[in-house]
Amino acid sequence: MRVIPAIDIIDGKCVRLSKGDFSSQKIYNEDPLEVAKAFEDHGIQYLHLVDLDGAKSKHIVNHKVLELISTKTNLKIDFGGGLKSDEDLRVAFDSGAEQITGGSIAVKEPEVFKKWLTTYGPEKIILGADVSGGYIATNGWLEISNQSIFKFLDQYKSQGVKYIICTDISKDGMLQGPSFNLYKKILKETKVKLIASGGISQFEELPILSEMGCEGAIIGKAIYEKRITLTQLEQFILLNN
């Protein structure tokens, strides 16, 4: 299982939110590159970089942060937040993204998302499935759609989607543990490369997610609040390689 730390960006700074609420913003570091380099120094190879300004503005905003991290580290970056147009995608990939994550666009403009899958291939395009009460949320989690998570995933699996990041909004940033039951059900019913996201609070949860069959785990606040240390993640990566 891949270990994927998260860096969320507002105004070029590394922040975390609780349940996606912008008013809950807490700044952890003014320099995202410093954070990314610390991850790399501990053997981490992947990064989940979220443009929260972009999510709010509905177009890419913090591509310069992406470009800086991609040129100054060897981290493989998946980038998301506000990617709505072909131009947004071009900028993201030109700025060094290895993969991009599309969530709201896959709900609201499925033809655009399907075109991206065809143009760039399923290795480059991750489906973001943000869940609230079993339904898909959009627009920085401000709106809840009428699409159930399982119908949504089935629809896109048939379109060739390989990678899915699933975030249970009620868990995100709350440090109360991930949605094990939801992930078990998704893995059983859809057989996708599932990246768990939201709620990871202690190191002991990582082996459980790995044994369940998750392809990756995104870890955010638990790192910044020092519930999980980079040394622990380094050891986990060494043992699982």
Maximum pairwise Cα distance, the chain: 43
Parallel, antiparallel, or unpaired for β 2-10 and 13-18?
antiparallel
Predicted confidence at residue 151, as pLDDT, reads 92
pLDDT at 140: 60
pLDDT value of position 170: 82
Known catalytic membership, residue 21: no
Select which of 8, 88, 168, 172 is catalytic: 8
Active site residue 8: yes
List 181's β-bridge partners, or say none: none
Task: Find the length of the chain.
Answer: 241
Two tokens at 65? 């942060």
In order of start, what are the domains of the chain with their CATH numbers? Answer: 2-240 (3.20.20.70)
Say if residues 16 and 46 touch (Cβ distance below 8 Å).
no
Catalytic residue among 88, 130, 168, 172: 130
Identify which of 109, 35, 99 has the alpha carbon closest to the alpha carbon of residue 65: 35
What pLDDT does residue 224 have? Answer: 94
pLDDT of amino acid 196: 97
Model pTM score = 0.94
- What percent of the chain clears pLDDT 90, i.e. is strictly above it? 78
Residues in the chain where the model's pLDDT stays below 50 = none
